[in-house]
Amino acid sequence: MTIENRNGEAEEKKGLSFIELGVIGDLEQGKNGGRLQTRFPPEPNGYLHIGHAKAICLDFGLAAKYGGTCNLRFDDTNPVKEEVEYVDSIMEDIRWLGFQWANVYYASDYFPQLWDFAVRLIKEGKAYIDEQTSEEIARQKGTTTLPGIESPYRNRPWSESLTLFERMNTGEIPEGKMVLRAKIDMASPNMHFRDPIIYRVVNHPHHRTGTTWKAYPMYDFAHGESDYFEGVTHSWCTLEFVPHRPLYDFFIDWLKEGKDLDDNRPRQTEFNKLNLSYILLSKRNLLLLVKEGLVQGWDDPRMPTLCGFRRRGYSPESIRNFVDKIGYTTYDALNDFALLESAVREDLNTRATRVSGVVNPVKLVITNYPEGEEEGTEEILEAVNNPEDPSAGTHPIRFGRELWIEREDFMEDAPKKFFRLTPGREVRLKNAYIVKCTGCTKDADGNVTEIQCEYDPETKSGLPGANRPVKITIHWVSCKYGVPAEVRMYDRLWTTENPRDALADLQERTNCSTLEAMKQLMNPDSLRVLPNCYVEEYVTQLPPMSYLQFQRIGYFNIDKDSTPDKPVFNRTVGLRDTWGKLNQK
Ligand code: ATP
Ligand code: MG
């Protein structure tokens, strides 16, 4: 589509989301005095996941792009589930993604203002204390076609409600015994208007306000109001809040008391949640996985949390690029996980250091290479760090008579099309020589324990003889200098494309718990530990979290479990998408 900019020139805005076009339009019309202010409002009840990244990129990204501000606001109105640990992790993850908030706010900072607003509503006869149980209240709600029934407490004197409201906050009233409800319309076609509960009692200390409060505002009574107090202009959230939007506006109208009618107010706009194939989001579920020990913590590299992806070796850029690609719409969809993986590959291709790692080692002995001799110790032998990026330079490697190679690169009785090592066939050893396989040694069970070959000294990489054509180049690690390593090969955590629906379906059919259903739907091969790998020594000098490519194997990073004696690597993603193909078989 085409939009006129301030100078009247036609500007192509192709590819911009409807949200971004909305921002451009609002700024051009000078709405909100030309201000753009957004917020990212996580509830500190878990770690952020890839779905949140979609919201973060929007809230922070558009504010930055159009000269606005984005604040981080913790929506901390439910003390039972919220913890400081989550607050800290959320800040760390947003920074890691590459964003910075202007201010940090907490919905709990507004408890006094929200309390005053509620008191005002009580005094104006717009809110009342209901002493019915939550079941009774639910029963009276009516249906979309039937109006609700008014509570017997609906028209009690405001002074009575006020006294009880105060008692709700002193600890005298047990949880569930009383709630404050807004008096709106029990016959409204929008169920959210049928006298919504706006305050409830929670007898659990709050992570910031301690025991000061016992009465806590509900989401619908806190979110829009917080937006208003802060001066938010654009309040973006996910589609499940569409039916809440009229109430959002309604409460803000009450709050404004007719003031400020120049349209300077926050507006809610909804976009589609991120759903990814083979990924289960939602903090409630992720918390269950952690608490029940089905994964090894929030940052388990199989988790779709930002800290899990970080530990797995995903770069923040790849996540941002992915979010950019999928865009924002007004209908729910299931995005292909392969799309995220391809964004990761694309980004890591430009930044990962190429190294040698052998994950299934077998020894290769070059029988005509002089014993005791080695290369790369006296003179320099080098490997290119990244062929995509000459500025990444080179690193030293060492070559010798005995090398580790991949077991799969050898076959004793090979078919014609097997171009790797088999007696009589030549391959190139990366950055070194062409070798010809001469045979192998086996143990009593017939397992190959050593492969022998002869090298051609004229074929060293860089020498004129190096151009002799061979079908394949294989990687290797020096037996003398290579470092033993553990490699963790990760795969999808779920065997089913849509784990959320599959879980619900399984629970309904078999009447089992969420945990039981999870156990049945988890991929038993989501983690394969390879304890006896070798990596070239250079890798051990790199800082933790470095992005690596083990040539021919995949992208890896150095895990925090590494010790100087035994580095540990996580496979971030394979070099190609083989998963889809394997599963079609
Ligand atoms: P979950 O449902 O996973 O528990 P939530 O919505 O309860 O997440 P909040 O902390 O309330 O988590 O969310 C903070 C912001 O992130 C909200 O604006 C919410 O709409 C957005 N968000 C949460 N999940 C997704 C998702 N899958 N895709 C896009 N945005 C999301
Ligand atoms: Mg939530």
pLDDT tens sequence across 300-340: 999 999 999 999 999 999 999 999 999 999 999 999 999 99
Residues linked to residue 530 through DSSP beta bridges, in sequence order: 487
- Cβ of residue 41 lying under 6 Å from some atom of ligand 1: yes
**Start-end of H helices in 152-207:** 158-168
Q: Is the pLDDT of residue 260 over 70?
A: no
Q: Is the pLDDT of residue 350 over 50?
A: yes
Find the 227 Cα to ligand 1 centroid distance in Å.
17
pLDDT of 462 reads 80
Which residue, among 89, 495, 88, 99, has the nearest Cα to 306 in the 3D structure? 89
Find the 51 Cα to ligand 1 centroid distance in Å.
6
Compute the distance between CA of residue 319 and CA of residue 50 in angstroms, rounded to an integer.
8
- Cβ of residue 276 lying under 6 Å from some atom of ligand 1: no
pLDDT of 9 reads 40
Band of residue 3 on the pLDDT scale cut at 50, 70, 90? very low
Q: Is the pLDDT of residue 543 over 60?
A: yes
Average pLDDT estimate for 14-37: 93
Q: Is the pLDDT of residue 403 over 60?
A: yes
Is-contact 323 54, C-beta < 8 A?
A: yes
Q: Is the pLDDT of residue 19 over 60?
A: yes
**Domains with residue ranges and CATH for the chain:** 111-217 (3.90.800.10), 353-488+526-584 (2.40.240.10)
The proportion of the chain whose per-residue pLDDT surpasses 90, expressed as a percent, equals: 89
Which residue, among 456, 414, 454, 416, has the nearest Cα to 438 in the 3D structure? 454
- Cβ of residue 43 lying under 6 Å from some atom of ligand 1: yes
Is-contact 127 182, C-beta < 8 A?
A: yes
Average pLDDT estimate for 456-465: 86
Find the 75 Cα to ligand 2 centroid distance in Å.
8
The proportion of the chain whose per-residue pLDDT surpasses 70, expressed as a percent, equals: 96
Provide the b/e sequence for 39-63 (b: ≥16 CB within 10 Å): bbbbbbbbbbbbbbbbbbbbbbbbb
Which ligand is the nearest neighbour of the Cα of 227?
1
How does DSSP assign 327-349, residue by residue? ---SS---B-HHHHHHHHHHHHH
Q: Which residues, 6 or more positions from 66, have their beta carbon under 8 angstroms from its beta carbon? A: 23, 24, 27, 36
Which residue, among 287, 522, 493, 482, has the nearest Cα to 402 in the 3D structure? 482
Q: Is the pLDDT of residue 10 over 90?
A: no
pLDDT in tens, 222-251: 999 999 999 999 999 999 999 999 999 999
pLDDT of 380 reads 83
- Cβ of residue 237 lying under 6 Å from some atom of ligand 1: yes
Structure tokens at 161: 């409600």
Find the 10 Cα to ligand 1 centroid distance in Å.
36
pLDDT of 565 reads 84
Structure tokens at 440: 């192998």
Residue nearest to atom 3 of ligand 1 (CA): 282
Q: Is the pLDDT of residue 275 over 60?
A: yes
Band of residue 262 on the pLDDT scale cut at 50, 70, 90? low
What does pLDDT average to over the chain? 93
pLDDT of 93 reads 98
pLDDT of 13 reads 55
Which residue, among 148, 133, 212, 111, has the nearest Cα to 178 in the 3D structure? 133
pLDDT of 104 reads 98
Find the 218 Cα to ligand 2 centroid distance in Å.
12
Least confident of 77-91, 233-247, 455-469: 455-469
pLDDT of 7 reads 40
Residue with structure tokens 């047990």?
174
Which ligand is the nearest neighbour of the Cα of 500?
1
Compute the distance between CA of residue 252 and CA of residue 250 in angstroms, rounded to an integer.
5
Q: Is the pLDDT of residue 178 over 70?
A: yes
- Cβ of residue 52 lying under 6 Å from some atom of ligand 1: yes
Residue nearest to atom 15 of ligand 1 (CA): 42
Structure tokens at 286: 């992720």
pLDDT of 259 reads 73
Q: Is the pLDDT of residue 297 over 70?
A: yes
